[in-house]
Structure 1
């Protein structure tokens, strides 16, 4: 009777988790010689395990075995669980192996316990192997363990094994928990395995695991990313029909998807619907619309939407601000781009490589090489790695401002520092060298590109062919044509136009017309650019009648002359001093809506050439009256002529007017004023202009330094003369 009562007390203590008391009672039972059976030993083993005396529990199991008690799997499973719970899974495996050796039959709990232990120690391969053993033996693993395995495999990128296990479990009527299923579905979608994700979704529904808002958000995001907007909308409607709570995430996916498809009306509709439903849009809601509007070129609407974000207390993220910065850069509004860039840093949003590349490219487009290199250095200092998008912009601006040789020095430095330049970067250098006619360096870069396996395209062939023609390198031209034929590159309209332009610029009209015939034979009919190029060079070489015939041919054909075409004739008349005819032509262009600032500048240049400065100034005033705006060239042309006549005061008056109107002088404008200040003995004024030039980020070139050298020389000579005169006096 006592034995029965003591055992009951022991089991009761275990049940209420008083393991320390249970262990004391069990030890007392052993000490008093009470006969103990398997059930009591099992309770004692558990009490020892729960009080972290695993070695004592192991000794108890050994004692039970030595007493010849033929136990079931239960006491072994309890000890194994104790080891697994304390991350001693390999000792649990030893217990399992001991069971098998003693002929004790393992059961489902044995394997579940081992899977649990391997999951705790993150030994997923062993957990998966043990699960496979269970399935072969007909045992069913626990949902908790399988969910842990699936999630672990997903995190390690073993999606194939995870999906295979999930599918096998589904065939057994088991479904992993919702968290693991959603996580696996998300990983499958991110890896582009959409059919498997959809099968997993269907399997969940069929087996009674109800998808939640996360499940639908994952699938809607996947469909939107693939541009399957009708399917995404259907899934969104299905979600709402089932009464599942709709969060901001599916709305954000739909907004992003419609923006990617350039359907901004639908994107706007979902943004407004979010607000109507009481959901608060976040940065991910606004960013796609802002980026889309920027891509569309609608800067005003993008800025307005960004202001709405600020009013609603939504902080812009790196993607929103980079998109907006890119928008300003494309509009050449670098002041606003810089303001937003600084605001980003002040808001503790760290610019990434894309942000820096956008800013650097913007400054490069604006010709502000000093700012571009400052940002380049700042990018490197922050531990960011410039890439070929960075390099290409830097190479292009160096070619445009300091010359192709400076760009080549930059490339050589990059290669010495083990930077790998791709075809885009090398092509930018190739074009810069070609433009300056540096054939030796061009051929070197050409060979480097070929050695690196860079596929040379038709654009590259066109550039180097044009350079070879400028240098009259007929042998190279013939070699390039053969190489093009070998590579199967068929000349296009751009190639033919470049050939016609190169020959006609050299007054080799016969060869240019021969190229024209070849173009027709190749099935490339001339377009308005081809006509205009040949007309322009015919005018410049004095073949006005031939140019007029081509213009009439255009009027009778499918391509009508445009403002550039007519400006060729206008330029010829202005250059030849036939200003009355030029004024008549320009009046006709104005009437036909073909005049623009360029055509006005052509006429201004003509008046300046014959010394009619006041007429040129009056004409510049008429630009605004005609609905256009004078540009830097308009002012520079007149300033140059005023300086030439010695009227630097009036020239500076126009210069200040230009600055007041917000026009930014370019390198040519600065050089004009510095040069004439130097020549007229106003070297201090020239230095002041040079200082302003540097502050505004315009990089000096060889002409700048030559002008300053002239001014310094004249000033020194003047001082020497003054010293000599004072000596004689």
Structure 2
């Protein structure tokens, strides 16, 4: 199938030809969601053209207008959609629905009919292949097409490169990452200094970070809600910056300047998200979905991986455990562990544990709370009553009175 048509071809003939291409590319669709999308997009040539206009505008708005023009260059002066645009729309739809096998099949059909892919075609295909871990062959194809795209002089954005590197991190040894990195550099592609530092000195560490992210999204043994959470998180191009800023700002606000400085220096030196950031984000994700047991297991997995928690990690963990009566004993345990490591809980963290005692409305439990406060005093921590009152605002009066009594009566002894 040629991408050009005779000047004598009528507009109707060309439109019918385009619709035939679309129908052939989608006729074997087995995914119900994709099938519904194709039914909407391809009701008629006009609906297909309307979708193409919207896609062109979206691509232009995101700064890739040159790729949009390349893909939507008409086959004649009649302004009819090109075959490559049709095939790319089908591949893009499958990619959006995470159907790598179907996207690859359409791409191979496109090549067999003599239609050359545009840069955007490659990007869509490579991204879905690299992010589908159901078949090891998909990674090999993703690498192949990325290098092929570079050989054709195309200049892709960083996304397909990072997707491939993450897939390598998940499936292959770091030597394979070095090999692929050298291959793309030899073809003139210089990976941007983002995502992780690709310099050899930090490559192994960077691949470890990517492997953990890939595991969070693709490992079926991990809670489904948490996997979906990290999938959506990773779609955001600035997710790493947000997580880094969140932890750094929390450390600074709580007066943990030394930890904040150490954290900042590590990021500046390596360009990599410290593993403590990702592990802490996992704990937060489990707590977000009310899965306290999962949060505690994530913390224990963090320790087993040799990653040391910082003050912010403890804050997240202890507050989460305190909110679940089934894990209140663990909250007390880790509050003391935090202090034994020379870290000081902020008012919200300390108060969350004391509030746990107060909520139970039991005198024996209150005495246990006083014993905890005394242990903390012995470790050099003096609760700030005023800060506690700020945290307890809006709580039932009985809880506030009990919590303050536990602390103040101990301080007076």
Measured against the shorter chain, the TM-score band is 0.3 to 0.5
Which structure ranks higher in relative contact order (CA pairs < 8 Å, sequence separation ≥ 6)?
Answer: 2
The TM-score, its normalising length taken from structure 1, stands at: 0.24
- Which is higher, the Rg of structure 1 or of structure 2? 1
The TM-score, its normalising length taken from structure 2, stands at: 0.37
